[in-house]
Amino acid sequence: MPPIPALSYDEAQKVYDDIDRSFHLTPERLFELTKSFLHEFSIGLREYGHPMAMIPTFVTGVPNGSETGTFLALDLGGTNLRVCEVVLNGDKTFSLRQQKYKVSESLKTGEAEALFDYLADSVDAFLTTHAASAYTTKEEEDVVHLGLTFSFPVEQTALNSGKILTWTKGFSAKNAVGRDVVQLLQEAFDRKHMHVKCIALVNDTVGALLCRAYTAGGCLLGAIFGTGTNGAYVEEVAKITKLGNHPAAAKGGYMIVNTEWGAFNNSRSHLPSTPFDNTLDRLSINPNFQAFEKFVSGMYLGEITRNILTALVDAAPKPLVFGGKSTSVLNTHYGLDTSVMSEVEDAWEGPHRSYSAEQTAPDFSTFDEEKLPPNIRTKLERIRAVTVKQLGFQDSDVTLKDAAIVRWVCSLVARRAALLSGVAVATVLIQTGYASFPDQDGVFSPRASTEPILIGVDGSLIEHYPNFQRTLRESLRCLVGEEVEKRVDIGMAKDGSGVGAALSALQSLKQGHR
């Protein structure tokens, strides 16, 4: 018996329609997802040990742009580490000097002491050769304060303390798990008699929030929409009931919470899973984890697109794209990068959608190149060129119809990601009281404030993917109403892991850590 193909059909157009429908998100579905998001927020604020971790960061204030000072930042997140010097000018501007240093495989897998000694050596080398300021005094009041961005799982117990839970990204340094990462780094500084003090531990979403707050005068939410996705926002301490008897709970006020929203709905009970998503998850290195991230982030969108295209190639009784031909790019797991999708969208040019604007799939069964309007033909010719170049086809293998299908698939996947990103942002606005759901008649209550709601973002999707932010805002308008959506001021918070770490050191000083 022959193998059952990925897609079999009697009528080709029904295949396109079914795929299109499975990626379509109705307003009702968006509301349902937002309510589920809020529910997971509530659970995570109440109890430890849930996928939506809602991690207290112990950062209890944000800068307003008037702060001054010189701070160091150390950013360890993978093969490279960065040392940065950030000078805050007190007028919402700053200057940044930085240097990258390579972490060898032996350091990643050797003794923790050797790794942290190397981090300290790198800071020392930077201070000696790259820093703009002179760090020569040994007086205690002139100690150099440093913030650490540590992109590995930690259980943070204070702004300047956090235990390493596990290593990821190819690191497995011995005798580190279970120990305080700030203490490990400080001990390395002390062994070398360096006048540097690590006083803050931060993750990149918190860094994005702090960075945007400094340059804009305030910020509610820091969010990453890039290779991964996550968000951190300013929450009332009284709502973080899992703090229990922690001194931070008694102080009250506000605290930044790192949501870890990439793990929203790991059970996939609400997320709009398709067979293409299920394939991606099943073959991933972390099945059943980081579910929301797999629908939204740049690491995965290209793979979802590849899964759809290969299913259309393999369809029976006849292939539905590329005449049944494939390439090494399409045949390779993660062979199609999300940047190719962005290039396809760029080739289409401009904000005006053609095929993707429709609520159902284009009628590919009656596609006729000869009847295409000249402007559409020109757009599809550009997409055909991108497809040939980036997917490794011969020029004769790709028709304009194929180009139209490629563009439609890319648009489906990216649009869904942007709409879901809007769900995450809307959840924060509703959780913090800046917005509310409409009433039973679909009417949004007028809001008393007209002040802008400041959000800091970073990541390749939000910065570079055409129409991503526009579609995110479309989702926001649906969920919180046009009046609130217009007040949302989304600004790039570039280099949150560098500048944000320095700003976390500033905040740590404000909170009395020295």
Quick check: bond before 3 cis, omega within 30?
no
Alpha helices in 240-364 (DSSP H): 247-251, 275-282, 291-296, 298-313, 328-331, 338-348
Q: Residues 432-436: what's their mean pLDDT?
A: 97
Residue 480 pLDDT greater than 80, yes or no? yes
Instruction: Decide if pLDDT at 359 tops 90.
Output: no
Band the pLDDT of 57: cuts 50, 70, 90.
very high
pLDDT band at 378 (very low <50, low <70, confident <90, very high): very high
State mean pLDDT over 419-442. Answer: 96
Q: How confident is the model at residue 169 (pLDDT cuts 50, 70, 90)?
A: confident
Higher pLDDT, 267 or 360: 267
Confidence of residue 365 (pLDDT cuts 50, 70, 90): confident
The answer on pLDDT for 3 being more than 50 is no
Distances (CA, A) of 245 to 51, 240, 242: 23, 11, 9
Averaged pLDDT for residues 44-57: 94
Q: Is the pLDDT at 357 greater than 50, yes or no? A: no
Tell me the mean pLDDT in the region 408-437.
97
Query: Could you report the per-residue pLDDT of 310-319, keeping only the tens digit for each?
Result: 999 999 999 9
Q: In the chain, count H helices and then E strands.
A: 18, 13
| 166 band by pLDDT with thresholds 50, 70 and 90 | confident
pLDDT given for residue 262 in this prediction: 93
Question: Cβ contacts of residue 130 below 8 Å, gap of 6+?
Answer: 83, 85, 97, 98, 99
- Residue 4 burial class via C-beta count within 10 angstroms: exposed 0-12, middle 13-18, buried 19 and up: exposed
Residues 6+ apart with CB under 8 A from 411: 345, 353, 355, 356
Distance (Å, whole) CA 358 – CA 354: 8
Q: Which long-range contacts (CB under 8 A, 24 or more apart) does 78-81 make?
A: 78/103, 78/151, 78/169, 78/170, 79/103, 79/170, 81/119, 81/122
- Is the pLDDT reported for residue 308 higher than 50? yes
Residue whose C-alpha is closest to residue 510's, from 145, 229, 20: 145
pTM beyond cutoff 0.95:
no
Q: What is the pLDDT of residue 312?
A: 97
Confidence of residue 134 (pLDDT cuts 50, 70, 90): low
Q: What is the pLDDT of residue 352?
A: 54
Q: Determine the average pLDDT of the residues in 124-130.
A: 91
**Least confidently predicted of 87-101, 159-173, 207-221:** 159-173
Mean pLDDT of 451-471: 95
Cβ-based neighbours of 140, under 8 Å, separated by 6 or more: none
Give the pLDDT score at 216.
96
**Average confidence (pLDDT) over 14-20:** 94
pLDDT in tens, 213-237: 999 999 999 999 999 999 999 999 9
pLDDT at 490 over 60: yes
Cα–Cα–Cα angle for 256, 418, 50, rounded to 5 degrees: 45
One DSSP character per residue, 56-91 reads E--------S--EEEEEEEEESSSEEEEEEEEEESS
Please list, in sequence order, all residues whose beta carbon lies within 8 angstroms of the beta carbon of residue 440, skipping any fewer than 6 positions away.
none
Determine the average pLDDT of the residues in 406-430.
97
Q: Give the model's confidence band at 142: pLDDT under 50 very low, under 70 low, under 90 confident, else very high.
A: confident
